Chain A
Amino acid sequence: MIETVFKPEIKKQAEAIMARYETKRASILEILRLVQESCGYVSTEAEEAVAELLEIPAIDVHEVVTFYTLFYRKPKCKTRLNVCRTLTCALAGGDRILDHLEKKHGLRPGEAREDGSVSLQTVECLGACEIAPMMQLNDSEYIGPLTPEKIDQVLERK
């Protein structure tokens, strides 16, 4: 089990990460991120492999994976829009952006296109209220202030 998730190169990286911490368990968020980067998401099998690596019960890993929002538990879409819905973005017309995503692009919060190309999620404050309304694209780039045109450009970009 552990060998299929932690192939030699990944295992080496995992060991380097674990060495920074006082306990093996403390490295779990970074280890899960490494697994997610190499496998695309964190499967039940991957949770068990992480449990074996860190020498903790599998349920503890499962608890961590499900507590935090940045872990994917199934394969992720190629283009992922995380649109902020908290107060400043709402004041700046964030719901009009969501409306546009639904009417023009057929995307509703929490849903993905059937072909796995695009997913839309609403998220809480990302710490970029100065560019409200805003979103995070593919778990990395911050984009804002959003307009319907900017949304169209991003979706055409892929």
Chain B
Amino acid sequence: MEKLISKYFVTGKTFGMDEYLADGGYEAARKAFEGFDPKGLIEEVKKSNLRGLGGAGFPAGMKWSFIPQNTGKPVYLVVNADEGEPGTFKDKYILNHVPHLLIEGMIIAAYANQVHKAYVYIRGEYVGPHRTLVRAVEEAYAKGFLGKDIFGKGYALDIVVHRGAGAYICGEETGLLESLEGKKGFPRLKPPFPAVVGLFNCPTVINNVETLSYLRFILERGADWFSKLGSEKNGGMRLFSVSGHVKKPGVYELPLGIPLKDIIYDHADGIRDDRKLKAVVPGGLSAAILTPDEIEVGMDFDQLRAKKTMAGSAGVIVMDETTCMLKALLVTMRFYAHESCGQCSPCREGTSWVYRILKRISKGRGRSQDIKNLLDICSFMGGTTICALADGAAMPLRSYPEKFKEEFEHHIQNGKCDSPDCPIAEDLVTA
């Protein structure tokens, strides 16, 4: 199968400006200026069915079409490189191996939305990727691909690379904007949406690294070609981060809609030690888990939603038959309890309450009403908060005891299960 972005993922190598140019780099950005007016470019991206690959899956071209161009205020482009959804590590590969692909995508997106200043918000822990991107931006300025007169077309674009400082919530787009304005990352109440009132109260386009990195290919070979690579209304390919109990963890670029089964068994080479599959997280930690009888599902935004889970960030975490599901859920919910920003009560209280209940069960002090209580907490956390973090906690929280009811009941009654990970190490519970 042909690779687009991931053909550049050569171990230990970064494609610098010269190598990127030798491979046809920046021709697509040039073509955007020569072949399209901004409206036509948005139409082309709409036609490609490119979806937002950060996690929400919102059609990229449609998002762009919401930007008002007549407010008298500047329009900003903000790139979300705050890759933090557990199980997801693909943007790091783009930044490490082919940062110019992102910059070229940013130029295209900037022209389509008439942006003259763009920010890349990169997570603070990504020290190496940050350094690589900064160097690439400098190279692009030196070539005249950024700055006052890019490609000699009289169009100005500046890029500022900005580092976060360790907060999952800043991956939420309005938390990111608050953070970029110099505040703690409390998500904003919507509407107004960032397209209308975004960074510094100006219209703002926010796109993920991977979404922008596909623009070059759409311009090179056309929207129709790109759209046909994927499934219905889910254009193109995407980078699946596969981890957990598989033989070959890594990033796999595959068409949208590919069966989950193929990703696990054909691409990641199956389960370690040829054990049996027990459960899979299909789209980052915030997605509901799937069981082995559900892995025929096509991995696109719409098919996974129909299965009551989500494509999310395409972080696939595989668990084999030895996994203690109580431990997996405990670790999962500890994450949300730690990362809740504390702004909304249902999330702040709910995530830490759930964590306390699960800790108690893991210590052999489960109570018969615990499962019902966990599911009740899900109901009040979901849909009651400013941002989707609580929904992202509620979705896996509901799926574990629903799909592994007997195992949870067994834990409550007996204090432990037969998994080698059980009883759960004291370190893990107290940390």
Residues of A whose CB lies within 8 Å of any CB of B are 20-23, 25-30, 32-33, 54, 56, 60, 63-64, 67-71, 85-88, 90-92, 95, 98-99, 102, 108-110, 122, 124-130, 132, 136, 139-140, 142
Contact B427 A98 (CB under 8 A): yes
Residues of A within 8 A of B89 (CB): 127-130
Contact A87 B428 (CB under 8 A): no
Q: A28-B182, A64-B183 are in contact. Are A129 and B315 (CB under 8 A)?
A: yes
The CA-CA distance from A21 to B76 in the complex, in Å, is 12
6 chain-A/chain-B pairs, Cβ below 8 angstroms: A64-B183, A87-B331, A90-B331, A98-B425, A124-B338, A125-B85
Contact B317 A87 (CB under 8 A): yes
Which residue of B162, B339, B428 is within 8 Å of A85 (Cβ)?
Answer: B428
Nearest CB of chain B from residue A143's CB, rounded to whole Å: 13
Nearest CB of chain A from residue B177's CB, rounded to whole Å: 10
| Residue among B84, B184, B332, B341 with the highest chain A CB neighbour number at 10 A | B184
Residues of A within 8 A of B222 (CB): none
Residues of B within 8 A of A68 (CB): 124, 164-167, 184
Residues of B within 8 A of A87 (CB): 86-87, 244, 281, 285, 317, 328, 331-332, 335
**CB-nearest residue of chain B relative to A22?**
B200
Residues of A within 8 A of B124 (CB): 29, 33, 68, 70
Q: A86-B335, A91-B245 are in contact. Are A127 and B427 (CB under 8 A)?
A: no
Contact A129 B317 (CB under 8 A): yes
Known A-B contacts: A95-B424, A129-B315. Give 7 more (CB < 8 A): A29-B165, A32-B165, A67-B185, A67-B341, A69-B166, A86-B86, A127-B125
The CA-CA distance from A29 to B323 in the complex, in Å, is 40
Q: Which 7 A-B pairs have the closest CB atoms?
A: A69-B166, A129-B243, A68-B165, A25-B182, A67-B184, A125-B86, A70-B166
Contact A26 B180 (CB under 8 A): yes
| Residue among A30, A56, A127 with the highest chain B CB neighbour number at 10 A | A127
The CA-CA distance from A86 to B164 in the complex, in Å, is 20
The CA-CA distance from A76 to B424 in the complex, in Å, is 31
Contact B339 A124 (CB under 8 A): yes
